[in-house]
Structure 1
């Protein structure tokens, strides 16, 4: 699977560990930055990574900042993305099973690398429970996105 990675300075160290683990599992990663721990604006890196997922250039995204919510806030503004913040493996499993999320956001200041890698493992290996109640809920969220978010092909990017 192709995975888009992004972080700010607070998430950089954990992002590198996640990249190494993903690659050891046979995934291809593309890192949209930041390249180090110098102060960086999250949107400068998460937005291009989010666009890569939305355009199909990446199958999923893993974004890491201080607490995870900044990345999710940015990613969920891009049509076609369902970004979730997970702080434990149980939430990661439910985020895939119930919402078919395609972007995982983590907090590098909140969780250590061992739990983060377990969250990524669970999220990457869990499928969507394509049952009527979950499909109906996912479809409703998609209808909201279609009503209120601009399609990429309608943007001058």
Structure 2
């Protein structure tokens, strides 16, 4: 699977750890993040990564900033991107299984490495239940309809 990674300075250390784990699991990493601890503007990194997910250049995205919400706010402005902030593995499991999210956002300043890596592992390995349970398919279809009514297609 191709995974778009994005980060600002606050997410740099965790992004590096996530990239190494993803690569070890056989995934291809496309890195849109900064490689510096100097202050960086989050939209400069998250927006191109979100566009990569929206256009199919990446299958999923994992974005790391200070608390995760900035990345999710930016990513969810892009048609076809469904981002969730997850602060524990239970949220990560539900974000995938119930909501079919394609972008995971994590806060590098509020979640330690061990918890963050468990969140990534769970999110990456959890399947969406909408293929076997109509209620999840129906709910996600409604979200996709809202997306399509309000956001212009990404070219």
TM range (shorter): over 0.9
Matched residues in 2 for 1:92 and 1:142: separation? 20
- Tell me the matched-pair count: 153
Alignment pair present for 1:94 and 2:94? yes
Matched residues in 2 for 1:79 and 1:85: separation? 18
Matched residues in 2 for 1:92 and 1:152: separation? 26
| Residues 108-151 of structure 1: CA deviation (Å, up to 9, x unaligned) | 00101111000000000000001111111100011111111010
Give the equivalent residue in structure 1 for 2:54. 54
Matched residues in 1 for 2:26 and 2:81: separation? 23
Gaps of 5+ in 2: none
Alignment pair present for 1:14 and 2:40? no
| Residues 67-118 of structure 1: CA deviation (Å, up to 9, x unaligned) | 0000000000001010000000000000000000000000000101111000
**TM-score scaled by structure 1?**
0.96
Give the equivalent residue in structure 2 for 1:82. 82
Q: CA RMSD in A?
A: 0.6
Gaps of 5+ in 1: none
**TM-score scaled by structure 2?**
0.97
Give the equivalent residue in structure 1 for 2:136. 134
